[in-house]
Amino acid sequence: MLSQELKSNKSIALWLIFSAFLVLMMIVIGGITRLTDSGLSIVEWKPIAGILPPLTLSDWESLFAKYQTSPEFIKLHPLMNLDEFKSIFWWEYIHRVLGRVIGIVFLLPFLYFLMRKKITKSLMPHLLIMFILGGLQGYMGWYMVKSGLVDDPYVSPIRLMLHLGLALIIYGYMIVIAIKILKPDIVIDKVSAKKLRIKTHIMLMLIGLTILSGALVAGLDAGLVYNTFPLMEGQWIPHDYAVQSPFYVNLFRNMAAVQFNHRFLAILTFCFVVFFWVKSLNLILPKSLKMLCHLLIFVALLQVALGILTLLLVVPLTLAILHQLNAIVLFTIVVILFVLVSKRSLYIEKS
């Protein structure tokens, strides 16, 4: 009986981890969609009918005709032909379809586990919250796209940041609950865990803020300016950091300010990761946790290198995607650390 309970718990945890992996892929494809300027190629939201791709020339011509009414076509691509439209259509289509796939992958196993009475009372609220957040994310995606279909042929950087932020919350939430269900067999000294706990919380917050600031950089194409490092055209703080009024507008709309803020947060985060790693060396930690800390500093170093190269080479697509993917890997490591050093009372019950 006990082995069956453990098996069912493992199945639920693996389901959540697989769902989180799909969310990760969704984030990466969303990044490609943004970097290839494909996000406004589909100007309608059809949750059911929209899952079918264009199959005939007539289907393509109909979609292209609708795109031709959008501000992006009128103001930026008035000479675009059908073949060029196809090249930007597919990434947005794949992004939307994957969102629907995630919904199905989450819903069907949930119903199965529910009917088999495998979901405990303590776990149910968490799964329901994930389901609600997933629905909200779908709406947030369309809310973001709508911002570029009115007058301005660009999506709102703020809405893009919120869209990515919500994806991070869903992804991190799934990882946290999966680990708590599995309850990995790691014994951590209480004193060491306490010393790392607050630092892990701060590190998670800094990485989250840095990723969100990166969304603003992507939304404004701010990586295409000031392509020098460490100075920004010979200055530590760009001369046009605060040219817009009121001041707070610069934080979201000024390319110079947005890029500087991302640089500052990235450097601050890296310094804190180094501080965390050095402190971990002097603590009594299990070997697996020590290895996780070593992996953390390696991924952080790689992230800084990718960020600098992406900037200096003026945002080549491959490097930009690797930079984004590695950021999520870094986020994942810190989420795992966050769970492992948390108080045991926060764990989900297995029975």
pLDDT per position as a tens digit, 127-186: 999 999 999 998 999 899 988 888 888 889 999 999 999 999 999 999 999 998 887 767
* pLDDT tens digits, 229-238: 999 989 999 9
Residue 335: Cβ within 10 Å count: 23
The closest alpha carbon to 296, from 270, 320, 257, 266, belongs to: 270
Distance CA 266, CA 250 (A): 19
Domain map (residue ranges) of the chain: 1-182, 186-351
Q: Which residue type sits at 196?
A: L
What are the angstrom distances between the C-alpha of 30 and each of 4, 76, 296, 303, 340? 39, 21, 25, 19, 30
Residue 8, pLDDT score: 56
* pLDDT tens digits, 39-65: 889 888 877 766 888 989 999 999 999
Instruction: Quote the pTM value.
Output: 0.92
CB neighbour list of residue 108: distance below 8 Å, 6 or more residues apart: none
* pLDDT tens digits, 121-133: 889 999 999 999 9
Tally of residues, the chain: 351
DSSP string covering 188-220, please? --HHHHHHHHHHHHHHHHHHHHHHHHHHHHHHH
